[in-house]
Amino acid sequence: MSTATATQTPVFSVSGLWKVFGPKPERIPADPELGALDPADLRARTGCTAAVRDVSFDVRKGEVFVVMGLSGSGKSTLVRCLTRLIEPTAGTIAIDGEDVRAMDKARLRELRRHRAAMVFQHFGLLPHRSVIDNVAYGLEIQGIGKAERRERAAEVVDKVGLAGMEHRRPAQLSGGQRQRVGLARALAVDPEVLLFDEPFSALDPLIRRDMQDEVARLHREEGRTMVFITHDLTEALKLGDRIALMRDGKVVQLGTPEEIVGSPADDYVREFVRDVPREQVMTARTAMRPAAPGEAAEGPAIAPEATVSEAIEAVARSGEPARVMAEGKCLGVVDHERLLGVVAGVAADTPAADTTDAVVAAGGRTAEATPVPQPAAPGKHRQATPPAPRTSPEDV
Amino acid sequence: MATLSVPTSARTAKPRVLKSRAAGKLLLLALVAAVLAPWAATRWPGAAWPHELTVSLAKPLASASNWIIDNRDSHPLFLYFFGYVSNAVVLCVRAVYLTLLAAGWTGVTALGALVAWRVAGARLAAGTAIALLTCGALGMWVPTMQTLALMVVAVLASVAVGALLGLAAGLSDRLDRALRPVLDTMQVLPAFAYLLPVVLVFGIGVPAAVLATVVYAAPPMARLTALGLRGADPEVLEAVESLGATRRQRLLTARIPLARGELLLGLNQTIMMALSMAVIASVIGAGGLGDRVYQALASVDVGQALAAGIPIVLLAIVLDRVTGAAGSAKPAGTGQTPSRTVGWPYALAVTVAVALVTRLLGRLDWPSGLTLDIAEPVDHAVDWMTGHLYSGVPVVGGTADWAGHFTTWALDPVRSGLQWLPWWSVLLIVAALAWSIGTWRSASTAVLAMAAIGVLGVWGPALDTLSQVLAAVAVTLVLGFATGIAAARSDRVERALRPVLDVFQTMPQFVYLIPVVALFGVGRAPAVAAAVVYALPAVVRITTQGLRQVDPAALESARSLGATGRQQLWQVQLPLARRSLLLALNQGVVLVLAVVIIGGLVGGGALGYNVAFGLAQGDLATGLVAGAAIVCLGLMLDRVTQPTERRAKKGA
């Protein structure tokens, strides 16, 4: 499976992407000296703001790709560049290998109508239309007849759990319900990839969690590719198969949640993930060490994808090291020392032989060795809803 | 440490810079004055605008108007353009008028009530029916229909023109930038100023009246359409775009529906402005209710004026409430939608049926037995008032005494004071005021406008008008701020005031002349009184809103520090509501000017009288010059009182 996805064309392939706001923006990406300036200097020198700076990444088919950063880090601009709601300044974007920046108007409309649908932070619903007509709106734009589009919309309305509210207006719905409408509208056109722009940050915490579960469920059921923008680390860790962490328009680290938490690329990321309960993100695969002779035969067995917190439980119950087993083979063992080391964040110095601590620096690609989580798979039993980090991203 | 010190020093420096800038402005002005004033004073001595600096437009204007009159039937421009426009207007108004008459009083009442019912519910339907029947009962059915016919045509044309302009301005930034100042300025000019240019081209009559109405009533529609299209929630538009909508789809399915509220508000404002103008346009041959009021006022026949004035007020209230209800009604759940659409054919059918029945019964005209003549009792009442209240009432004095005192003690001193001031000092004062409140641009506009008045050769009458405006604004502000503060501080006062303000704000300017003539007779004082009454509601309302919108947290913190009510008012509410207060001043000035000008019809004299005189005597040159001076005065007053922020926040 993982080899299969690796050879497939990525859904989105972005490389060297720039978005600069201000007068004569083209000169900034073209001039390496200007491009290297920090935001304040750049603004002082040129009057321009670089919202996205030389960003490259691939979104693979079926994964949830999270772009995470604080407000002003350029993540929302980035997602809008993907379908050219904001025109990029430089770089290339390809969807299924097709150059998005070279598309003419009609082709671009086609892309927006059928291939990528977006869910917005403030929903962007049409207040004068009922729920069903809002959901059917994308189909209406495509020119689909009323009866058919209503029928298809009704199915999607059911799917997102809004049955019975078809004829309400957005104003009569709660925030969570409105975002379900926004989600249904995007789903109704059956897009290849769903783009989420901070979809849940306007919602109350409890409803936010419901909606996150909803998205996780949809992803589990349909395996649709998703690009998810958020400023909430918890949300990113919970939903993301891979996370790109942005700061000042640049990607400072790109990797699985475990890589981000376990091997922060720099002090910024480290500070960011400091309060994350590591035992709920890190897996036994990271924590294990090679089995000493004799150890491979006995002790409780756990899967390599099991979280450290599950491993701790297993070790605590049995009182002896647990074996990390995959397909009947023992990959290694975790003992209380290793587990405590992971929780304390001091274990990274002696990684086990075959773990993949492929830490990727700014803008780089992940090493091919990074395990690609299967759509429905391991990430999801990190049921982690860790308590919110003490330094909540918004007030940093 | 170094990084910290930079912002602090910048912050402390700022007020000093600002202060020095304001002082700098005045210093610069003083310097210019010191150089120019002695020179001007020696060169053209005397207080009035020097004769050498005027350009007499009387001759060219008279010859232009003569040329138009001579060529109206022969020149191709008239034959193939204005002629068609004029004929089309006459035809349309006539067609609507005949239809209304053919529907008979029962048909029109039924139609009005049913439309009100569909749009605004049962209560307003009953109100509409009663209002229309009252019009009939006062013996004003035919004039009411004349006014309605003119209104229907004018409103349709205004909405079409306004919506198109607004659409263009909503979609194109460049057009928006070009149109906005024009529309803003049109909004502040007194209605009277629009009459003469139209008369010049079309002559006195229905076409001129309709076109003047359209020119006056279209700007709010255009402004609000553009505003609505531009104000659409950007995230909704982005969402619509993200789904791959074409420009056309975006306009039709998102932008226009999202602008519904503004469009309906625009319709409401256009209708109200059209009614106001349709009544004033009686001066140029509109006929109908306004004409009755005009004729009655000309002979100081308050009873007749009231009989025609009441239907105007009723029409205004009904039209305002019904269109307002249409605008504020949120599109409810779909449950109601079908019955709404189904209701219309029924309503139409009922109307036709009622009209047919009346026709068959031969009772199309208002039954003469049902007419209630209020003119005579009102005249009696006015006579009694004249006899008993005009003067000599013990202690308080009579109304005429008040008017006389006001004229002697307020209007005359202000006028002679203004006329005593050398002309260049008036310009300087205008410049200083406008510059200290606004920008150099608004200041130069104001000075140029004021100078243009002098050049036009109507310096004297313009100062006369200005003195009335100043007196009226002073009275309005004192009353308005006091009432506004009271209403802002007490919910009970506000609740009591609200219906009064609602009614007063919907009444056309012209109507205000009737009661003041009854109370004060004719002259400058009644004109000022009418202006005060007209401008007061807007000033009160803006003041109240401004004070109420003051950040409650600021008030709460003042209270928590133990501020007394008076301290809260002076130290928190008034300073924070400064912008609203300036807006109230600006609105007050604009509204007062509009009515002071119309006051020319009841002895207010000055520019308004010149316009009325020009129209009555066919002396268009005098009227046009006065009209131009009114435009200049309006511009000047608006710019002098226009705070810089207003442009940005001006919305509704």
Kindly give, in sequence order, each residue whose CB lies less than 8 Å from that of residue B417, ignoring residues fewer than 6 positions away: B467
pTM for the predicted model, two decimal places: 0.77
Q: What is the mean pLDDT of residues A102-128?
A: 89
What sign has the CA pseudo-torsion B203, B206, B212, B218? negative
Minimal Cα–Cα distance from B426 to chain A, Å? 45
B272 and B347 assigned to the same domain: no
Q: Which pLDDT value is given to residue A350?
A: 45
Please check the confidence at residue A67 and state whether its pLDDT lies above 90: yes
Task: Express as a percent the part of chain B with pLDDT over 70.
Answer: 87
Q: Where are the domains of chain A?
A: 2-275, 278-351
Minimal Cα–Cα distance from A194 to chain B, Å? 11
CB contact under 8 A, A109 and B242: no
- Determine the Cα–Cα distance for residues A187 and A177; give it in Å rounded to an integer: 15
Element of type H or E holding B466? helix B459-489
| Interchain contact B251–A (C-beta under 8 A) | no
| Interchain contact A44–B (C-beta under 8 A) | no
Q: What is the mean pLDDT of residues B406-411?
A: 76
Apex A109 CA angle, A103 and A111, nearest 5: 70
**Residues from chain A contacting residue B241 (CB–CB below 8 Å):** 85, 112
Q: Which of A121, A126, A172 lies nearest to residue B236, judging by beta carbons? A: A126
Number of structural domains in chain B: 3
B160 and B132 assigned to the same domain: no
**Which residue did the predictor score with more confidence, A378 or A82?**
A82
Q: What is the mean pLDDT of residues A217-239?
A: 89
B110 and B179 assigned to the same domain: no
Average pLDDT, chain B: 78
The answer to whether ipTM exceeds 0.85 is no
B487 and B618 assigned to the same domain: yes
**DSSP SS3 for B74:** coil
| Interchain contact A107–B (C-beta under 8 A) | no
B297 and B414 assigned to the same domain: no
Task: Express as a percent the part of chain A with pLDDT over 90.
Answer: 14
Give residues 280 to 339 of A whose Cβ lies within 8 Å of B.
none
B446 domain-assigned: yes
- Determine the Cα–Cα distance for residues B238 and B224; give it in Å rounded to an integer: 22
Please tell me which residue of chain A has the smallest CA distance to B336: A167
Q: Which of B243, B262, B337, B340 to mutate to test the interface with A (most CBs of A within 10 A)?
A: B243
B163 and B285 assigned to the same domain: yes
DSSP of A1-53: -HHHHHHSPPSEEEEEEEEEESSSTTHHHH-HHHHTS-HHHHHHHHS-EEEEE
Q: Which DSSP symbol is given to B370?
A: G
B211 and B121 assigned to the same domain: no
In this predicted structure, which of B33-47, B87-101, B399-413, B445-459 has the lowest mean pLDDT?
A: B33-47
Fold match between domain A2-275 and domain A278-351: no
Domain span at residue B491?
A: 397-649
Please tell me which residue of chain B has the smallest CA distance to A135: B243
Size of interface A-B (CB pairs under 8 A): 82
For residue B4, name the pLDDT band (cuts at 50, 70, 90).
Answer: very low
Say if CB A231 and CB A393 are below 8 A apart: yes
Please check the confidence at residue B121 and state whether its pLDDT lies above 50: yes
Convert the pLDDT of each residue in B359-404 to its tens digit. 777 766 767 666 777 767 777 777 777 766 666 666 666 677 777 7
Phi/psi for B561 (5° steps) reads -85, 0
Q: Which pLDDT value is given to residue B437?
A: 75
| Fold classification of A278-351 (topology level) | CBS domain Like (3.90.1280)
Packing angle between helix B578-598 and helix B606-617, nearest 10 degrees?
Answer: 40
Kindly give, in sequence order, each residue whose CB lies less than 8 Å from that of residue A198, ignoring residues fewer than 6 positions away: A76, A121, A229, A230, A231
**Residues from chain A contacting residue B240 (CB–CB below 8 Å):** 124, 126, 137, 141
Q: Which pLDDT value is given to residue A378?
A: 41
| Interchain contact B333–A (C-beta under 8 A) | yes
What sign has the CA pseudo-torsion B134, B140, B141, B144? negative
- Determine the Cα–Cα distance for residues B474 and B360; give it in Å rounded to an integer: 59
B410 domain-assigned: yes
B298 and B365 assigned to the same domain: no
B350 domain-assigned: yes
CATH code where residue B175 lies = 1.10.3720.10
B180 domain-assigned: yes
Q: Which of B331, B322, B306 is nearest to B140 (CA)?
A: B306
In this predicted structure, which of A314-323, B16-25, B366-375, B497-506 has the lowest mean pLDDT?
A: B16-25
Say if CB A280 and CB A384 are below 8 A apart: yes
Q: Which of A82, A49, A91, A62 is nearest to A374 (CA)?
A: A62
Q: Which of A120, A171, A182 lies nearest to residue B238, judging by beta carbons? A: A120
- Determine the Cα–Cα distance for residues A355 and A116; give it in Å rounded to an integer: 35
**Any idea of the CA torsion for B544, B545, B551, B556, to the nearest 10 degrees?**
30
Element of type H or E holding A69? strand A64-69
B376 domain-assigned: no
The domain defined by A2-275 carries CATH number 3.40.50.620: no
- Determine the Cα–Cα distance for residues A354 and A338; give it in Å rounded to an integer: 16
B451 and B592 assigned to the same domain: yes
Q: Which of B242, B262, B336 to mutate to test the interface with A (most CBs of A within 10 A)?
A: B242
Q: Which pLDDT value is given to residue A195?
A: 92
B242 and B180 assigned to the same domain: yes
CB contact under 8 A, A137 and B253: yes
Compute CA B612 distance to the chain's CA centroid, rounded to the nearest angstrom: 19
- Determine the Cα–Cα distance for residues B332 and B229; give it in Å rounded to an integer: 22
Q: Which pLDDT value is given to residue B39?
A: 73
Q: Which of A108, A124, A130 lies nearest to residue B239, judging by beta carbons? A: A124
B298 domain-assigned: yes
B514 and B636 assigned to the same domain: yes
Please check the confidence at residue A227 and state whether its pLDDT lies above 90: yes
Please check the confidence at residue A163 and state whether its pLDDT lies above 80: yes
B45 domain-assigned: no
Please tell me which residue of chain A has the smallest CA distance to B256: A128
For residue A4, name the pLDDT band (cuts at 50, 70, 90).
Answer: very low
B125 and B151 assigned to the same domain: no
Apex B113 CA angle, B112 and B116, nearest 5: 85
Q: Which pLDDT value is given to residue B643?
A: 66
Please tell me which residue of chain A has the smallest CA distance to B331: A128
Please tell me which residue of chain A has the smallest CA distance to B249: A141
Q: Which pLDDT value is given to residue A243?
A: 92
Please tell me which residue of chain A has the smallest CA distance to B260: A128
- Determine the Cα–Cα distance for residues A121 and A128; give it in Å rounded to an integer: 19
B177 domain-assigned: yes
**DSSP SS3 for A333:** strand
